[in-house]
Chains A and B, each alone.
Chain A
């Protein structure tokens, strides 16, 4: 669709390209933290098993340790949410920026 020489099909493509750049960077961060969670969970279980075997941990020690890991899990979930919200914010603001320029140019007034 072309309005006053502004091709909105091109604008959409520009917006998609800009969003792709944002999500590529954001997803790397997200994948990194999810990978870290997986590795840490396995490491926590191995830690408790090792301490049980060596006699350094009894049931209460394991319970106390796992309770702390529950709090760490809450922190990780919040961090994933923060990173995800940041990606959403970047996507949204990127789209707004591209379309604002196109709409203002097409209308001929700075309405947005």
Chain B
């Protein structure tokens, strides 16, 4: 009886015993989704071609941007207006990725959901940024979905920066034109972000 005394039963061991005695497999992450993987790859290709377009038409230095007259800036191939449709299309695609990942979120067990919520809280506390408000609008979603929410946040932020409304200030000197090197930085961000997402998804394959 002494062993059954509450103080001898710790939470992890009780958890372990409960799960073990049911003999049921646990689901800590949502299953591999081939369509999600493939749609993410297509998103990368689309976003990457927008970035390539941006790099090819944008000036190299701030000096060059400042020297463009306001009237000429309106017609410049690097102006936000020439990219608005691209940003809108990428935002639609990123929403579609969020929806696709949400469809499989319910396949995670209760323990998995609790663990993922705790991990997300630690991540957002360690690395807070302007994406937190968008994250807050989605309750009880998986880490997979949270990555797509951050991806959408990045695209929205890029559109704002191109209009001179970025959280760090106006990169465009009021001309709504970015530098080639800003696009180059975006290229690195996109590649590394998508790589992280795809690594996690592919790790679930064939299991």
Contacts and interface: CB of A to CB of B under 8 A. Distances in A.
A93 to B, nearest CB: 4
Per DSSP, are chain A's interface residues mostly helix, strand or loop, or mixed? helix
Given A78-B123, A96-B20, A33 B28 contact: no
Given A26-B203, A47-B188, A86-B203, A72 B196 contact: yes
Given A77-B123, A85-B116, A96 B24 contact: yes
B interface, size bucket: 35 or more
Given A36-B195, A86-B28, A64 B161 contact: yes
Contact of A79 (B20, B25, B161, B200): B200
A73 B120 CA distance: 13
Nearest to B118: A81
Per DSSP, are chain B's interface residues mostly helix, strand or loop, or mixed? helix
Contacts, number: 145
B154 A68 contact: yes
A32 B23 CA distance: 33
Interface of B: 19-29, 60-62, 112, 115-116, 119-120, 123-124, 126-127, 129-131, 143-144, 146-147, 150-151, 153-154, 157, 161, 166-169, 171, 179-182, 184-186, 188-189, 192-193, 195-197, 199-200, 203-204, 207
Interface of A: 26, 29, 32-33, 36, 40, 43-44, 47, 51, 55-58, 60-61, 63-65, 67-79, 81-83, 85-86, 88-90, 92-93, 96-97, 99-100, 112
